[in-house]
Amino acid sequence: MRYIQYRNIRLYQIQIFLCAAECGNFTATAEQMHVTQPMVSKTIRTLEQELGILLFRKSHGKPCLTPAGRELRIYWERMMELFEASISNAHAVQEARQIPLRIGLGMSGDRKDIRKRLEALEQKNPSMNLIYECGDMAGLLERVAQGQLDLTICSGHLLPSAQRLRLKFKLLMDTPLAVFLPESHPLAKRKSLSFADLSSQPFIAFSPEADPNYWELLNSMAAEAGFRPQIGCYVRDERSFQVNLERGKGVVLADSHTFDVPGIKQFVLEGTSCGLYLVWDGENDNPVLGQLLRNL
């Protein structure tokens, strides 16, 4: 791989390249960038030397992007959009117009009623800018601990992990556990199910490595019901539960608010409690976080 002196590449060079790619003409580029045409030509040549990439070829006397140049243009346009957005957002934060709050949502937390509550709160508070990021709940907790997220919503079975990471938590919604299975499953015709009824059923489950808290919950409930759980397949994230459920790979034990999709039937397990929790780092000084926690 060729070693590139990235520190020699300047922002104005990228801007000139993108303008030239848009105009298809170095003279027009010079006019728009308020430089001379020789300056544009020199900048493009310097970039090509630094990158080791031919960016333009002459076609009918006009500069045309090479395939490599077109590829670079796509990524550099995105990069400039992010660069400009970062400055705009930073100004908004400094002027206290809007302060971003990054919220991690797993399958359980990504519910319409929860998002409606968050959206209503955002509308009432113009300074709030809620940004959602999806992922598996265990991974989202780690990102909160690392400061990459301000807040996440997780199932109660993950509270031991939150405590291990020294995160704070607050009950958002008290919810029972439930068993989910495809509507085509023979047991789906029943009016109710107990956990003991699942003794011969394969479970779609998190592996002990992916989520040891879930694994402990599944095994303890099976032991109380007098059986050892059979595993149909292991998954690493909540969304894989749904895909494998729909394919008939087994049944799922989860928070009762994990799935709300056609084709999957839910049986609430009476006498159980799991809950959905807000989880955050107590040392996070984002002022919007405190406002959200007080009002949600």
pLDDT of residue 1: 46
More confident residue, 85 or 150: 150
Three-state SS at 97? coil
Determine contact, residues 278/293, Cβ cutoff 8 Å.
yes
Strand partners, 20: none
The SS3 call for residue 63 is: strand
Exposure letters 154-163 (e unless 16+ CB within 10 A, then b): bbbbbbebbe
pLDDT at residue 86 tops 90: no
Domains in the chain, start-ordered, CATH in brackets?
6-93 (1.10.10.10), 98-174+277-295 (3.40.190.10), 177-273 (3.40.190.10)
Only one residue has tokens 């050892």, namely 228
- pLDDT tens figures, 104-147: 987 655 567 788 888 888 888 777 888 888 888 888 999 999 99
pLDDT for 164-174, tens place per residue? Answer: 999 999 998 88
Local structure of residue 104 (DSSP, 8 states): E
Fill in the DSSP letter of residue 120. Answer: H
Of 75, 74, 66, 77, nearest to 44 by C-alpha is: 66
The one-letter amino acid code at 44 reads I
User: Which residues have CB under 8 Å from 179's CB, separation 6+?
Assistant: 193, 195, 198, 251, 252, 253, 266, 267, 269
Q: How far is CA 244 from the centre of its chain?
A: 21
Whether the Cβ atoms of residue 169 and residue 277 lie closer than 8 Å to each other: yes
Residue 224 pLDDT? 94
d(CA 241, CA 94): 42
Calculate mean pLDDT across residues 79-103.
79
Residue 230 has pLDDT above 90, yes or no: yes
Token pair 């799991």 in the structure block, residue: 274
The pTM of the full predicted model, rounded to 2 decimals, is 0.61
pLDDT in tens, 239-263: 788 889 988 899 999 888 777 778 8
Measured between its terminal Cα atoms, the distance across the chain in Å is 51
Round to whole Å and give the CA distance between 211 and 215: 6
pLDDT tens for 16-75 read: 999 999 999 999 999 999 999 999 999 999 999 989 999 999 888 889 999 999 999 999
What are the tokens at 26? 């170095």
d(CA 284, CA 290): 9
